[in-house]
Amino acid sequence: MKILGIETSCDETAAAVVEDGRKILSNVLASSSSIQSKSGGIIPEIAAREHIASIIPVIKQSLFQASLTGKNASSGYIDNTKLIEWAQQNIDAIAVTAGPGLIGCLLVGVEAAKALSYAWTKPIIPVVHTLAHLYSNWLVEKPPPKMPVVVLTVSGGHTDLLLMRNHGRFQILGSTRDDTAGEAFDKIARMLELPFPGGPQIQKLAKSGDLKTLVLPRPLLNNSDLDFSFSGLKTGAIKEIKTGRYEKNDVAASVQDAICDVLVRKTLKAVEKFKARTVLLAGGVAANTYLRDLLIKRSPIPVEIPPINLCTDNAAFVASYAYFNYHPILWKKINAESDTSSILQRYAVVETTESKIR
* CB of 69 vs ligand KG4, minimal distance in Å: 26
From ligand KG4, Zn ion, none, interface partner of 198 (C-beta below 5 to 8 A by class): ligand KG4
Residue 312 binds: one of Zn ion, ligand KG4, none (C-beta under 5 to 8 A by kind): ligand KG4
Backbone angle region of 214, left / alpha / beta, with phi > 0 → left and psi within -120 to 50 → alpha = beta
List 99, 100, 104, 157, residue binding ligand KG4 (CB under 6 A): 157
Name the DSSP class of 162: E
Residue type, 139: L
Choose among ligand KG4, Zn ion, none what residue 199 binds, the Cβ cut-off being 5 to 8 Å by kind.
ligand KG4
CB under 5 to 8 A by kind: which of Zn ion, ligand KG4, none does 284 bind? ligand KG4
Q: Does 306 bind ligand KG4 (CB under 6 A)?
A: no
How far apart (Å, rounded) are the C-alpha atoms in residues 155 and 238?
A: 20
Residue 185 binds ligand KG4, judged by CB under 6 A: yes
Task: Compare residues 186 and 313 and give the one whose CB is closer to Zn ion.
Answer: 313
Q: How far is the CB of 60 from ligand KG4 (least distance, A)?
A: 24
Cross-strand pairs, 96: 6, 126
CA-closest candidate to residue 162, choices 310, 276, 35, 314: 276
Residue 70 zone, left/alpha/beta (φ > 0; ψ -120 to 50; rest): left
3-state SS, residue 176:
strand
Q: Is 155 in the site for ligand KG4 (CB under 6 A)?
A: yes
Residues 55-74 that bind Zn ion (CB under 5 A): none
| Smallest separation (angstroms) from ligand KG4 to the CB of 109 | 14
* Rounded Cα gap, residues 223 and 65, in angstroms: 49
| Residue 247, helix vs strand vs coil | coil
**170 makes contact with ligand KG4 (CB under 6 A):** no
The binder of 197, among Zn ion, ligand KG4, none, by C-beta within 5 to 8 A per type, is ligand KG4
Nearest to 83 by CA among 109, 114, 59: 59
8 Å CB contact between 236 and 179: no
Exactly one of 99, 182, 236, 306 binds ligand KG4 (CB under 6 A); that residue is 182
Stated as kind and residue range, the H or E segment containing 13 is: strand 12-19
Element (H, E) at 30: strand 23-31
**For residues 176 and 312, which CB has a smaller minimum distance to ligand KG4 in the complex?**
312
Shortest Å distance, C-beta 153 to ligand KG4: 9
Kindly state whether residue 283 participates in binding ligand KG4, applying the rule CB under 6 A.
Answer: yes
Q: Does 203 bind ligand KG4 (CB under 6 A)?
A: yes
Q: Strands, DSSP E only, in 130-287?
A: 149-154, 159-166, 169-175, 278-282
Q: Is 288 in the site for ligand KG4 (CB under 6 A)?
A: yes
Q: Does 313 bind Zn ion (CB under 5 A)?
A: yes
The answer to whether residue 304 forms part of the interface with Zn ion (CB under 5 A) is no
For residues 251 and 214, is the Cβ–Cβ distance under 8 A?
A: yes
| Residue number with CB closer to ligand KG4 (195 or 345) | 195
Of residues 10 through 29, those in contact with ligand KG4 by CB under 6 A are: 10
The verdict on 287 binding ligand KG4 (CB under 6 A) reads yes
- Distance from C-alpha of 207 to C-alpha of 212, rounded to nearest angstrom: 13
How would you write 102-139 as a 3-class SS string? CHHHHHHHHHHHHHHHHHHCCCEEEEEHHHHHHHHHHC
Give the residue with the Cβ less far from ligand KG4, 87 or 132. 132
Count the residues of the shown chain that bind Zn ion, applying the rule CB under 5 A.
1
User: Which residues is 99 bridged to in the sheet?
Assistant: 128
State the residues that interact with ligand KG4 by CB under 6 A: 10, 155-157, 182, 185-186, 197-200, 203, 283-285, 287-288, 312-313
State the residues that interact with Zn ion by CB under 5 A: 313
